[in-house]
Structure 1
Amino acid sequence: MTAESHVLELVRSGTSDTAVLEKLFGDLPPAEPEFMLGTWAGGVFDETDAMAARLVKMRWYGKRFNDAENVEPLLCRGEDGSIHSFEGMGFARLRQVAFRGTVSAAMVYDSQPIIDHFRRVTDDVVLGAMDAKGQGATLYFHLTRST
């Protein structure tokens, strides 16, 4: 099974352990910043993780990359199902950053010590790794291009 097909199976099932995701992340090709432009629906693999649980509680929908200087890192669903940008954690910028030996697209928060790194799974799916300084383990998540 390729890394790409393995990640797609994990996205479908919604679960995995961090060690498996860490290996798969390292096996995937980097995403270029231009590839990330647009709106992406997101999901987490481990809803018991503290940060993932917060995202679920916020009704996290995904991320919107308007351009390199204007990223909405937390799109959330309202009670009525509408999607809005949660501005409580600020905005972010899209950059190329080295992470675990590979340079790839990364979302760097303006006001938080958090960088989300992206690896390409398919033309419409990426595997993300949230590197939150001081938070301990890396949180893995997935994004699917939204139409």
Structure 2
Amino acid sequence: MDVLEARARFQELRKTDGPVSPSELDRIWAALATVRPDDILGEWKGGEFRTGHPLDGMLEEANWYGKTFNSVHDAKPLICRNAAGELYSNLELGQGEASLWTIEFRGEPTATMVYDGRPVFDHFKWVDDTTLMGIMNAKGVPGEGPFYYFFLERAPEGPLAGTPAGEDS
């Protein structure tokens, strides 16, 4: 699969309401370009692929909005909406926040978000200039998975709230 085919298929799959095959997502991943941490700084709106992973639907239940990368040492992995619809960094769910590193995954060095409070890594690759594909990997997960697959789109301009869970902004 070349990068143009991968991008087209990615866009089709992200509109799918039903289950998506992890092996198809892996083929798309293999065709995409790697990412440098400094290139993805900013605010991102997220979504997930339903693959049958145990985490499927969990972020939706938490009212997950996306991720914010203020700097390589200041990443907010779980920007969620509170009952009033305001955005905040869900420190409880993420057990803290995160940082960005270049880490090898599947033989390629790419931008990876390392969680502060959990043995979790979110690896990223470019779909296009405004879209990232992500694969969540964690300690104890075998090399073949199962992995959690998600995507991020650059958010519209404007600051996201970064107040800790439960605090009013």
TM beyond 0.5: yes
Q: Structure 2-normalised TM-score?
A: 0.81
Runs ≥4 residues deviating over 6 A: none
Which of residues 145, 149, 161 is equivalent to 1:140?
Answer: 149
Return the offset for 1:57: 1.2
Cα deviations across residues 60-80 of structure 1 (Å, max 9, x unaligned)? 111000000000010011122
Cα deviations across residues 78-133 of structure 1 (Å, max 9, x unaligned)? 12221111011211000100000111100011121100000100111010000022
Deviates more, 1:20-29 or 1:49-58: 49-58
Q: How many residues align?
A: 147
Residue in 1 that maps onto 2:8 = 5
User: What runs of 5+ residues in structure 2 fail to find an aligned partner?
Assistant: 157-169
Give the fraction of aligned pairs with identical amino acids, expressed as a percent.
Answer: 35
Q: C-alpha separation between the residues in 2 aligned to 1:113 and 1:39?
A: 23
User: What runs of 5+ residues in structure 1 fail to find an aligned partner?
Assistant: none
Is 1:127 aligned to 2:136, yes or no? no
Q: 1:124 corresponds to which letter in structure 2? A: T
Return the offset for 1:49: 2.9
Q: Measured at CA, do residues 48 and 57 of structure 1 come closer, stay the same or move farther in structure 2, by a change above 3 Å?
A: farther
Q: 1:103 corresponds to which letter in structure 2? A: P
Q: Structure 1-normalised TM-score?
A: 0.93
